[in-house]
Amino acid sequence: MDRERWKEIDAILDAALEMPAAERERFITERTASDPELEKAVLDLLRAAAKADRFMGRPAISLAAESLANAETERTQFGLANALIANYRIERMIGAGGMGDVYLAFDEKLKRNVALKILPPEFSSHDDRVVRFELEARAVSKLNHPGIVTLYDIGVFQGVNYIATEFVEGRTLRELMGGRFKLRNIIANSIQICDALSAAHESGIVHRDI
């Protein structure tokens, strides 16, 4: 499908999304009455968008935000807020996952912000967790791609395992999807994600947490 065709689809879909949900399909059918192929393409995207909206709805996003806030409070109670890990001063939590918590931190040696991933203390005594944590760092260190963060450092400080990587300013994909997301933005972001994953696959690395 050529660029002009995508522009036509995008324009009709955008116009439909501005209307009440009950009127969207009728609007698309009327706008594409002379072009059944165009009608099908726009309706398919509209229905896919509706499914994605139900899956990524506000309640789910709110729940994730609440979970992160609770995790941040819990970690703060353990004294990580403003803590110094090696030469990294922790400022705030910015993410959490199965392999650790991620904080915005300031590198006091090189005077720059970093994303500092820390293996929770309760996992530090599990050899398999520590090995997986180190393998993750080695995997990232092999990659060089604009869509993949750069690894700065890995180490252990007073029993705390950490990985320091490039900190990228901006909004997460989940935050972007919380609002109205244009088709061209979905396509552009999907291409960037696939390009980064392809680079990882070429290096023999499979991301298992997309």
In contact, 104 and 131? CB cutoff 8 Å: no
Residues 80 and 91: beta-carbon distance below 8 Å: no
Tokens encoding 76: 């703060």
Candidates 2, 127, 128, 209; catalytic one: 209
Asked about 127 being catalytic, the answer comes back as: no
Which spans in the chain are helix H? 3-17, 24-31, 36-55, 58-77, 127-141, 173-177, 183-202
Q: Are strands 112-118 and 151-157 parallel, antiparallel or unpaired?
A: unpaired
Q: Which residue has 């393998």 as its token pair?
A: 135
Tokens encoding 154? 């890995």
Q: Backbone phi, then psi, for 91, in 5-degree steps?
A: -105, -50
- The residues assigned a catalytic role are 209
